[in-house]
Homo-oligomer: A and B are copies of this chain.
Amino acid sequence: MSYKKCDYKNLKELCNNVFERFGYNKEDSNIITDVLLMADLYGIESHGIQRLVLYYNGIKNGRIKVNSKMKVIKETPLSVLVDGNKEMGQLVSKNSMDIAINKAKISGFGMAVVKNSNHFGISGYYAKMAADQGFIGISMTNTQAVVLPTYSKRRMLGTNPIAISMPAKPIPFLLDMSTSVVTRGKMEVYSKNNEPIPEGWALDEEGKIITDSKKIIEITDREGLGGILPLGGHSEKFGGHKGYGLGLAVEMFTSILSGGFTSDNVRFSKGVDGVSHTFIAIDYGMFGDKNEIEKRMSDYMQKLRDSEKVQGASRIYTHGEKEIEAYNDRIKNGIPVNQNTIKEIEDICDYLKLDIARYK
């Protein structure tokens, strides 16, 4: 599968115009576009513009309600429970993390729990929002169930990502990870590229190892058995029960606290939607001088990067480093977009009567 490098500014204008055609105002279009393209800038193709078609379909089938607004249901000085009212996930999430950050500014801690929302893009975007303002940021979401509990062949859990971020120099700490061995989005990219997936990522309907990327995408798109394995793999030997437990913990923090749908009840295909998110901001100034704490984090991360490499390894990374390097490169040299994705974007532009040539 070939890629075409697209200029960031052109893609941004394209996305903004697409979302405005969908009925969003300029400010909201900008937020949605920023979250979406940040994934591409960070090199996380799976969650970037290749998912434009997902949002397009969501709006067409009413899963995402364009004119809906999130509503605060319950609030304390430290907490807020939000009903997303099927608003676009990026808007609900940006606003909810802003509330959590504001509470942390006043009280030291803020936590927003959200139900009835939609796909929010990359989890790391929201965790980093907090870090950019000098807090530890945590964000989580449940998703449609695609992950198997240890020793189960029914997918019961979402890929349930956790992101954690904290300021550090020269590169902030930004961990953004699904609690499964791999994300569904990454398998979508394998499928678009006609590549097999490695043994140990997923099981088929009969609970057997599967390597056909197209087939596993089909399996997880329809009702039935089979799915992705939790981080640590298919048994307890290498800690599969840990990935399963982390996925369950994310479910607890999102759908269980919010009263939203648990992942096994989220069915995008049926329009029975509503994922749940949680956003946390912690002011680490509660524990000491913030500059000193940040310096300790920066120094330790540098030591990790400087430690002795195994044979054949070129570098030891800390989390967030690859993303920042990809960002710098792509802002300058453009974002590689898969030809299949370009075809999807062309179809959307056709439908919306947007002249794609303008953005090329």
Contact = CB atoms under 8 A, between A and B. Distances in A.
Interface of A: 74, 76-79, 81, 107-109, 111, 113, 136, 149-154, 156, 164, 166, 173, 175, 177-178, 181-182, 198, 200-201, 203, 206-207, 225, 231-234, 237-239, 241-246, 248-249, 251-252, 255-259, 262, 264, 282, 284, 286-288, 292-293, 296-297, 300-301, 303-304, 307-311, 313, 315-319
A181 B79 contact: no
Given A150-B317, A292-B259, A315-B151, A239 B177 contact: yes
Contact of A152 (B178, B252, B287, B316): B316
A177 B236 CA distance: 12
Nearest to A245: B175
Contact of A303 (B153, B182, B207, B264): B264
A259 B296 contact: yes
B248 A242 contact: no
B248 A319 contact: yes
A258 B296 CA distance: 10
| Copies of this polypeptide in the complex | 2
B319 A287 contact: no
Given A78-B107, A153-B309, A307-B149, A231 B239 contact: yes
A287 B308 contact: no
22 contacts: A78-B107, A78-B109, A79-B286, A81-B288, A111-B286, A151-B309, A152-B310, A152-B316, A153-B307, A153-B309, A164-B245, A175-B245, A181-B238, A206-B311, A225-B308, A231-B242, A248-B301, A248-B304, A252-B297, A255-B296, A256-B293, A262-B300
Contacts of A319: 241, 244-245, 248
Nearest to A151: B313
Contacts of A244: 319
Contacts of A282: 111
B78 A286 contact: yes
B238 A200 contact: yes
B251 A150 contact: no
A316 to B, nearest CB: 5
